[in-house]
Structure 1
Amino acid sequence: MSSVSQQSDVLAPRYDLGGTTPYDDYIRASALAGLQQTRTDDPGEMAFLVTSQVMELWFKLLVHEWQTAGAALRDDDLPTAMTALGRSLDELQALNASWLPLARLTPTQFNAYRPALGDGSGFQSAMYRRLEFVLGERSASMLVPHAGTPGMQAELKQALGEPSLYDEVLRLLHRRGYPIPQAVLDRDLAQRYAGDPAVEQIWAEIYAAPEREPELVRLGETLTDVAEAIWRWRGDHLMATRRAMGAKVGTGGSSGVAWLAKRADALIFPELWTARSRV
């Protein structure tokens, strides 16, 4: 067959769709592209806006994945939970890469549009707060910044009282016969879980005999990967902030770098880390 006839067999996409494109109808790309409203003439502000909005979308997707995993764990469907957790690891890599456009900001570059933020701060992100709640990082005080948006605050309040992803893991272990303390199972879900020595011992026993419960070892390691990725995201946030503004007060009134450093040290799924010393 000649090259001319081969080329004629290649079908071009349809150009005349007679209206809006099905792609935009589904993806809503035009709506997304209209959300960037800069407030200064500095060209770097667009990178800050788009990067922050992209992070918000990753937060939303991660919450979805971890809710999916939690529901599957509740149904004792470990394969579905592991699939959702696996997807979230790839998504966390993309989230962490979102820092790259902002990671090397000099103070002068950041100050060029920082006044446009006013008192705005990533600390005020409702979706990030929702992400932390599903991971078990919880405090009722985190609801206060959203008092001016009652609907959003109500959603966060509801999430505050729901089992976290790790709560569902502990309940799964309990149903499988592991002696999770009743005080852990019945604890106040609105409070941050700080860990329990009995749970630490259970994870140590699971890791010490991986041939007995290989599924649980894989679950523990995948959760550890999630926690490590969050730790790296917080670390990248800390370094980007330190580079852009040093030790100045944060845009939301916090102590800036010192506050982020304190948050970065918090362990997610604590016994999965502390149990390693017992194996």
Structure 2
Amino acid sequence: MSCPHNNYRAMEDDIHTDFKDDMSYGDYLKLNQVLTAQQPLSYQHDEMLFIVIHQASELWLKLAGHELSSAVKNIQEGDFGHGFKVISRVKQILNQLTQSWNILSTLTPVDYLKFRDALGHSSGFQSYGYRKVEFLLGNKNASLLKVHESDPVVHQELKVILDAPSLYDVTLKVLHDNGLSIDADVLSRDFSQAYQSNDSVLQAWLSVYQNADEHFQLYELAEKLIDIEDSFQQWRFKHMYTVQRIIGNKMGTGGSTGVGFLKKALDISFFPELFELRTHL
């Protein structure tokens, strides 16, 4: 016979319950604003799912941008310890974002079509948080700023990030500072332009990997960058596949070709030499 179980947890005497003049959990997190920001434009049940997934994703993207901005500064200043910590955190954020597509995949095509027209031309392509993360990682494209011109504050912040060195740019400067030969035109390039593979960078990374004990900090940095790209590509792929599952090959609400446009992103690498070098080891 099993022992009787008292299925009850009593309130402890010291738990604070009076918040008339004290800051509560909800006050600290501004939950009144956060939890009232879900404003469906239709009466369809699944629109709430669509809104919550995308709002939560934007919060994760905000955190990823915060961490990557710190990582750029850390690597520039030689603070590899904290830089490695926040880069590892970004990897986990991207994994979390990838998992969120599994939840959105429960939205069937029929149910999505019931409220899709209410979205107008709004689209994830217009995500400021996503663009910031891509720019910080090095996928620069000045033409993408045009979609943010209606918000001068956002446009200006993205322009600053576009023109500044990315995480990979500051990493290549560190390679140079550690005695590895990097072409001058790579170090002094226009950071607003998309990064192009360079043989001197490939040879520098090969030297790091072939002498990993001597360059262990740089070797570890390279592997952490690979972790980020790995997680980012998984997120990109899951995004594309979820869209394909829900709308097939329809055009996106923002005017893109939809799945076709998303597939092209899978060919873009933030750190191309880090993948190429593996062929030459």
TM class by shorter chain equals over 0.9
Report the equivalent of 1:183.
Answer: 185
Report the equivalent of 1:3.
Answer: none
Q: What per-residue deviation string (whole Å, max 9, x for no partner) do you get for residues 95-142 of structure 1?
A: 211112112432212111111111111001111111111011111101
1:169, 1:37 → 2: CA distance? 43
Paired AA for residue 232 in structure 1: Q
1:80, 1:8 → 2: CA distance? 42
**2:155 paired residue among 153, 156, 161:** 153
Paired AA for residue 91 in structure 2: L
Question: 1:195, CA displacement in angstroms?
Answer: 1.6
2:12, 2:54 → 1: CA distance? 41
List alignment gaps of at least 5 residues for structure 1. 1-6
- Give the CA RMSD over aligned residues: 1.6
**2:241 paired residue among 229, 239, 242:** 239
Report the equivalent of 1:33.
Answer: 35
2:146 matches 1:140: no
Report the equivalent of 1:114.
Answer: 116
With 81-90 and 134-143 compared, the bigger mean Cα shift is at 81-90
Distance 1:13 1:221, change over 3 A: same
CA contact (8 A) 1:104 1:244 kept: no
Distance 1:106 1:10, change over 3 A: closer
Q: TM-score, normalised by structure 2?
A: 0.93
2:113, 2:71 → 1: CA distance? 41
CA contact (8 A) 1:104 1:243 kept: no
Question: 1:25, CA displacement in angstroms?
Answer: 2.3
CA contact (8 A) 2:136 2:161 kept: yes
CA contact (8 A) 2:138 2:166 kept: yes
Report the equivalent of 2:211.
Answer: 209
CA contact (8 A) 1:104 1:240 kept: no
1:228, 1:94 → 2: CA distance? 13
1:68, 1:35 → 2: CA distance? 28
Q: TM-score, normalised by structure 1?
A: 0.94
Distance 1:11 1:87, change over 3 A: farther
Report the equivalent of 2:26.
Answer: 24
**2:91 paired residue among 82, 89, 92:** 89
Distance 1:265 1:20, change over 3 A: farther
1:99, 1:167 → 2: CA distance? 31
Q: Which runs of 4+ in 1 moved over 6 A?
A: none
Report the equivalent of 1:4.
Answer: none
With 99-108 and 259-268 compared, the bigger mean Cα shift is at 99-108
Question: 1:20, CA displacement in angstroms?
Answer: 6.1
CA contact (8 A) 2:46 2:107 kept: no
2:172, 2:92 → 1: CA distance? 24
2:76 matches 1:77: no
Report the equivalent of 1:200.
Answer: 202
Paired AA for residue 163 in structure 2: G
